[in-house]
Amino acid sequence: MRINRIGLTAVALVAAGALTLTGCSGGGTTDSKPSANASAIITTNGSEPQNPLIPTNTNEVGGGKILDAIFAGLVYYDADGKPVNDMAESIDTDDSQTFTIKLKEGNTFTNGEDVTAQNFVDAWNYGAALDNKQLSSYFFEDIEGFSYDENVATLSGLKVVDDTTFTVTLKQPTADFPLRLGYSAFYPLPKAAFEDIDAFGQNPIGNGPYKLDGEGAWKHDESIALVKNDDYKGGREVKNGGLTITFYAQQDAAYSDLIAGNLDILDAIPDSAFGSYESDLGDRAVNQAAAIFQSFAIPERLEHFSGEEGKLRRQAISMAINRDEITKVIFQDTRTPAKDFTSPVIDGFSEDIKGNEVLTFDAKKAKELWDQADAISPWTGTFQIAYNADGGHQGWVDAVSNQLKNTLKIDASGAPSPTFAEVRTAITDRTIKTAFRTGWQADYPGLFNFLGPLYATNAGSNDGDYSNPEFDALLKKGQGETSEEAANKDFQDAQAILMEDLPVIPLWYANVNGGYGEDVDNVKFGWNSVPLYYDVTKG
């Protein structure tokens, strides 16, 4: 998952109007402006990458935004999150377990090397090997030969057939594997990268629509300058001369620059401007749903939350929360009440998952369920939700606590920890004794990504230790399907089980809100909340 550092620490990401995926973002027509200048440089906001610019070692948006611009993978995602072939000619499979990938010919890295099957295989092997300590190594865990316990230099599941063909064998059928291939961890690396990977991380050589503007284009903590890569022949045709990403420590500073005309595109409005940005920017304000799901988890191991009693209590808590009111009052309509466990921007999303009335506020029903649970074992103590105080979560946690107090007539409160690191540590080593805030930003636009890593038995981010064999079986069935519709149907059925068990209480989807300046046009935000910079024109 891509982590938005500023989102974590300042609750910046988020907006209103859900489901207006394309409605608010269209840049309108270009004919009202002077003709676009193909050499104009677009300026946008970003944050200092937390890691060297190596695709398999970047897991946050600051670096991800740059990598997506300077590298091209097998596929890229269009504005709706649909994968479109970029370097790939075709990706074929008969059983969703063995994939044959053919590359287009004639693509090159900016140092002149050809983009071959070997470049992909080398990069993936590098990313997967334990000794290389790559933050995104888990992306390769489904490939045959992958191990977390010992260093594997070459994955047995990757075989180069010829210069433009390679095959991937997975440990088990994984229907959405091709959908994942647009994520940065799957980008190819040139041979030059392996000669000195540290130097490469500072001055990466890519094959994407943009390239670094010479040696040292990455000015740490300040900005990075990218220019159009004329040798790129993939699908993302660049309609401007380049992209300069300025790193801001605070979103307020970036917003000031946008208003003053010093910044073309901003992809995160500071909370201080939530009330005013739509009037400041008019139709240049962007408001659309993002692939970010927010929730809080109540682990089984907490007293009163196991078995039938726990099930009733979780349902009662979920129905005692008035999501509409909180998104309106606390978030000024910059979040959208949740209807499922994924996100409306994901293909296969459904508002009609069976049992999702449990996400609708119903004070009477909630109290009834709570009383039923009390009949099994009377409630004692205080219900608490842990959160990190450096992330702007206090507002909604207090609101939820108050609603629980009023509806269920119990003691409820927030349990703040000073830093994100602290609360994550308690969650990871399972020492946390309360419910806790959780969230998920999708790695790739697929339903499974919101379900498998979070709720499958023993999954990596299953912080509440949820386990339900029926749910696991449906996920497995979905991954074994060969048609996307059939797979999505299984994943929706799997969510119906979650609606009953509520391993986490779904709260809302975060939206992306941003804006752009008068000089630029055709600004669209992708499914992952990052603007499609290549498409932007500047007059």
Partner 1 sequence: MARYILFRLLQAIPVLLGTTFLIYFMVFAMPGDPLLALFGDKTPNPALLEQLREQYHLNEPFFVQYLYYLGGIFRFDFGVSYSGQPVTEILAQTFPVTIRLAILALLFEMIAGILIGLVSGIRKGGIFDASALVVSLILISLPIFVTAFLGQYFLGIALGWFRPTVGAGAPIQDLILPALVLASISFAQIVRLTRSSVIETKNLDFVRTAYSKGLSSKRIVPVHILRNSLIPVVTYLGTDFGVLLVGATVTEGIFNVPGVGRTLYQAILKGEGPTVVSFVTVMVLIYLVVNLLVDLLYAVLDPRIRYAK
- Per the listing, tokens 């897991």 go with 59
d(CA 385, CA 532): 37
* Separation of alpha carbons 524 and 498, rounded Å: 33
CB 328 to partner 1: min, Å: 25
424 is an interface residue for partner 1 by CB under 8 A:
yes
For partner 1, give the closer residue by CB, 459 or 486. 459
User: For residues 441-470, which are near partner 1 according to CB under 8 A?
Assistant: 441, 453, 460-461, 463
Residue 215 makes contact with partner 1 by CB under 8 A: no
Q: What is the β-pairing status of strands 382-388 and 435-441?
A: parallel
Which one-letter amino acid corresponds to residue 333? Answer: D
Token pair recorded at residue 532? 């499609």
Is the separation of the CB atoms in 417 and 386 below 8 Å?
yes
**Residue 66 Cβ vs partner 1, minimum distance, rounded to whole Å:** 11
Q: Between 147 and 406, whose beta carbon lies closer to partner 1?
A: 147
Binding residue for partner 1, selected from 262, 457, 482, 483, defined by CB under 8 A: 262
* Nearer Cβ to partner 1 (316/454): 454
Q: Is residue 284 packed enough to be buried (19+ CB in 10 Å), middle (13-18) or exposed (0-12)?
A: buried
- Rounded to an integer, what distance in angstroms lies between the CA atom of residue 162 and that of residue 236? 26
Part in contact with partner 1 (CB under 8 A); list of ranges 21-29, 216-224, 346-354, 401-409: 216-224
Using CB under 8 A, which of the segments 158-166, 369-377, 415-423, 508-516 binds partner 1?
415-423
Q: Cα(141)–Cα(478) distance, rounded to whole angstroms? A: 18
Least separation in angstroms between residue 448's CB and partner 1 is 15
Query: Any idea how long the chain is?
Result: 539
117 close to 103: Cβ distance less than 8 angstroms? yes
Q: What is the largest CA-CA distance in the chain?
A: 73
**C-alpha–C-alpha distance, residues 366 and 389, integer Å:** 29
Calculate helix-pair angle for 363-376, 307-320, nearest 10 degrees.
160
Tokens found for residue 158: 């990757």
State the Cα angle at 202 between 155 and 231, rounded to 5°: 80
Question: Quick one: which of 93, 119, 137, 528 contacts partner 1 (CB under 8 A)?
Answer: 137
CB of 189 to partner 1, least distance (A): 16
Segment near partner 1 (CB under 8 A); pick from 220-228, 400-408, 479-487, 488-496 = 220-228
Between the CA of residue 205 and those of 15, 208, 220, 342, what are the distances in Å? 35, 9, 17, 35
Q: Does 434 bind partner 1 (CB under 8 A)?
A: no
Least distance between partner 1 and beta carbon 44 (Å): 14
User: Please, what is the minimum distance in Å from the beta carbon of residue 215 to partner 1?
Assistant: 14
299 touches partner 1 by CB under 8 A? no
Candidate ranges 182-190, 232-240, 257-265, 500-508; the one touching partner 1 (CB under 8 A): 257-265
Residue in the block written with tokens 């749910």 = 471
Site for partner 1 in 346-365 (CB under 8 A): none
Return the residue of 230, 418, 457, 485 that touches partner 1, per CB under 8 A: 418
**Sole residue written with tokens 């605070």:** 250
Q: Which helix (H) or strand (E) holds 513?
A: strand 504-516
Residue 86 CB, shortest distance to partner 1, in Å, is 25
The residue among 222 and 351 lying less far from partner 1, judged by its C-beta, is 222
- Considering the rule CB under 8 A, would residue 149 count as an interface residue with partner 1? yes
- Judged by CB under 8 A, does residue 194 bind partner 1? no
Look up residue 187 and give its DSSP letter: -
Using CB under 8 A as the criterion, which residues of the chain lie in contact with partner 1 when the complex forms? 1-5, 8-9, 48-52, 59-60, 130-131, 133, 135, 137-138, 148-149, 198, 201-202, 219-223, 244, 246, 248-250, 252-254, 256-257, 259-260, 262, 390, 417-425, 427-428, 438-441, 453, 460-461, 463
